Amino acid sequence: MNAPFKLIVRHDSASSKRVINSLGYETAQSTLLRLVQDNAPAHTSGFTKTKLKEWAVDVLQWPAESPDLNPIELVWGNMKNAIRKSGPRTLNELKKLMIDYWRSLSPEKCERYVLGVKKRLRRVVERAGGNILEGRDQSSPQA
């Protein structure tokens, strides 16, 4: 798994149009790109759907409100924990910690997050659809 990763840092809420435009057609065409689609409003806007179809992006449909299955939600949780431990005191310190954490994610670690989905799906089925992250160590890509 040798793909570029992009972190977009902004002060305001991200609109789907800005995020999609920041990726660009070249990125969509030059990499193996898959979008995990949890049906959040930004993901289902007409603009987003049109661009993803136009760019032939492989969209994986995902159950809504299922952070225990979504690999990126595990990354965000781990990032928050790491930042909380560092205790930033200014907005600039916070931004630097976010960027440093994002840059520290190796393709191998990201691959472990993705490959762990199958194991997490089994655990969700065992819990009759219940959340598997409650009361568990979320720091592991296999959480």
Going from the C-alpha of 23 to that of each of 2, 57, 99, 112, the distances in angstroms are 17, 12, 18, 24
Angle at 28 between CA 117 and CA 19, to 5 degrees: 85
List the chain pLDDT tens, one digit each, 143 residues: 444 445 444 444 456 666 667 666 666 666 666 767 667 776 677 887 888 888 887 777 777 677 778 888 888 889 999 999 999 999 999 999 999 999 998 888 888 888 888 888 888 888 887 777 654 444 455 44
Q: Which of 102, 69, 66, 68 is nearest to 83 (CA)?
A: 102
Q: Taking the mean position of all CA atoms in its chain, how far away is CA 98?
A: 14
pLDDT single digits (tens) 23-39: 666 666 666 667 676 67
Q: Where are the domains of the chain?
A: 16-61, 71-126
- Tell me if the pTM is above 0.85: no
